[in-house]
Structure 1
Amino acid sequence: MAFDSKVFATRTKTALVYAVVMLTGLLWNEWSFFILFSIVHAGAWKEYLQLAGKIYNGFSIKSWWMKMHFPLLGWGAMMMSTSQHMQLGGVALASIGEWLLRISLILILAHIVFEKRFRQSAFLPMLKGFVYISVSLCLLVNLRSGWIWNADDSESKIAAALSTFSGHIIALLIVFGIWINDTMAYVVGSLIGKNPLSKWSPKKTWEGTIGGIILSVGLVNLIAVLQWNFSFEMLLITICVAVAGTLGDLYESRLKRMAGVKDSGNFMPGHGGFLDRFDSILFASPTVWVLCYLLYR
């Protein structure tokens, strides 16, 4: 394939803007984190509904208001997952989210009861989208809030670090762990990859996948050793991030194959859509949440 300088320039500019926005959202404060992933939540839902229209027979929701019920339910759940010190006008964001969640549930139940077409053809795909997108990002926000662990009751270095940085570390572990895994898998796969991993993603190889997991886990834990003492919990978390992230990538590839599209969207020129960029996070976040719950509660 001939080198296209214009395409390369577009991809580079897009990647730089993406990196700046992501780092700002991840590192600034809890508000920036919530706003960042609220945008991701909305964008991912928009793309999922487009894919669902091509995958599921009879799935058609013409009313934009009806399309909003499940995304609003998810956004309310994300608000409820924030810490109590996040407030708007003296009211905790979690309390606002609770009311939004209740209203959304009432609207969804009303459509189930009174809208036969919604009940027969739209409810199940929307519910799948809620679990796939909203629950995953809800748990990521919950991890960032610091609720899941209690450093006072644990001698674990990672638990203490998570408490100290108000959730920065766990969020960075997930996001950067996935970035490193994707990069290493691409490099290893390009060098020695021969055996396709899946029919849904034929460009991925077993060699690249295994190499990416091993190298990303090793690199992240090497950084952790330099920052803290070695932690078995840290090792488990990084393994979960790498493995679950890979499964998330394959699942999204399967959705695109079923829908007959190359990319889930085009919000990032040269890089695809929201689901293309955050598919791994949607699987890694709930996996890490469950692991942290078992380790620190």
Structure 2
Amino acid sequence: MAFNLQVFRVRALTAVIFAAVMLLGILWNAWSFIILFSVIHFGCWWEFIKLMKLIDPNNFITRSLWGILYITLPCLMMIDLGMISYTGTGAWNGVDIAVFAWLAYVPIAIIASIWINDTMAYLVGSWLGKTPLTKISPKKTWEGTIGGIFLSVLVISGVAYFSQSMTVKDAAIISASCAVFGTIGDLLESKIKRMAGVKDSGRFMPGHGGFLDRFDSLLLAVPCVWIYIHFLLQ
């Protein structure tokens, strides 16, 4: 995968603006968090329905129902994780933030893990990538994928260690889950787009495509982190 400086500049500028909006929505207050992920939810749904129409015009309503699992459930889980930050208690099993104070950082850790993985996978793949990962996404390489996952875990774990915002173990598990399942989410969305015969799910972000293009990793990563926090955290 050859490195394209102009493409990278467009992606980087868009990503900076996007990051500012995301951080503002996540960190301002509980309502901004809910509004942010509600917008993401409906944006993804809008594009998903359009893709289903292209894939199967005569049966797109039935196919679109998969969006409840693919889009709605992960967004609700993310909002639940956000409410742990703002209210101190999870919606399902009463996770107490007084006991696990680092849970307040989980939404940021999820987003950061995905961003670092995406960026590093692109850079490492551009410079060192030789082995294609899959035919579904021919630009992805094993070298880039492994590099992205490794660097995501390294950075998030390092930040956790030096800031003491969470334990290194929890940081490593969360970042690894986000990187691995985020990559799978990216491949899943690529498969859906290929079935629909389109390059991008939409035109929401220059250089990044639509809502699904930007949040495909999040949709699979969030359920993994949610399950870890609500059922496996000790």
User: TM-score over 0.5 for the alignment?
Assistant: yes
Distance 2:106 2:176 in 1: 13
Counterpart of 1:288 in structure 2 is 225
Q: Tell whether the 8 Å contact from 1:150 to 1:296 is kept in structure 2 after alignment.
A: no
Counterpart of 1:239 in structure 2 is 176
- Amino acid paired to 1:39: V
Q: Give ranges in structure 2 of 5+ residues lacking alignment.
A: none
Counterpart of 2:205 in structure 1 is 268
Aligned identity (percent) is 48
Counterpart of 1:211 in structure 2 is 147
Q: Tell whether the 8 Å contact from 1:221 to 1:235 is kept in structure 2 after alignment.
A: yes
Distance 1:234 1:207 in 2: 23
**How many aligned residue pairs are there?**
223
Counterpart of 1:135 in structure 2 is 73
Distance 1:131 1:230 in 2: 31
Answer 1 or 2: higher relative contact order, Cα 8 Å, separation at least 6. Answer: 2
- Amino acid paired to 1:240: S
- Amino acid paired to 1:29: N
> 1:14: Cα distance to partner?
3.4
Return closer, same or farther for 1:4/1:185 CA change in 2, 3 Å cut-off. Answer: closer
Q: Give ranges in structure 1 of 5+ residues lacking alignment.
A: 61-121
Counterpart of 1:220 in structure 2 is 156
Distance 1:9 1:198 in 2: 26
> 1:29: Cα distance to partner?
1.2
> Which structure shows the higher strand fraction?
1
Counterpart of 1:171 in structure 2 is 107
> 1:264: Cα distance to partner?
0.2
230-239 vs 258-267, which moves further: 230-239
Q: Tell whether the 8 Å contact from 2:48 to 2:64 is kept in structure 1 after alignment.
A: no
Q: Tell whether the 8 Å contact from 1:177 to 1:216 is kept in structure 2 after alignment.
A: yes
Return closer, same or farther for 1:223/1:48 CA change in 2, 3 Å cut-off. Answer: same
Q: SS in structure 2 opposite 1:49?
A: helix
TM-score normalized by the length of structure 2: 0.87
Distance 1:269 1:51 in 2: 19
Q: Tell whether the 8 Å contact from 2:133 to 2:142 is kept in structure 1 after alignment.
A: yes
- Amino acid paired to 2:51: L
Distance 2:144 2:206 in 1: 25
Return closer, same or farther for 1:4/1:224 CA change in 2, 3 Å cut-off. Answer: closer
Distance 2:177 2:14 in 1: 29
Structure whose alpha-carbon radius of gyration is higher: 1
Match of 1:161 among 86, 99, 102: 102
Counterpart of 2:20 in structure 1 is 20
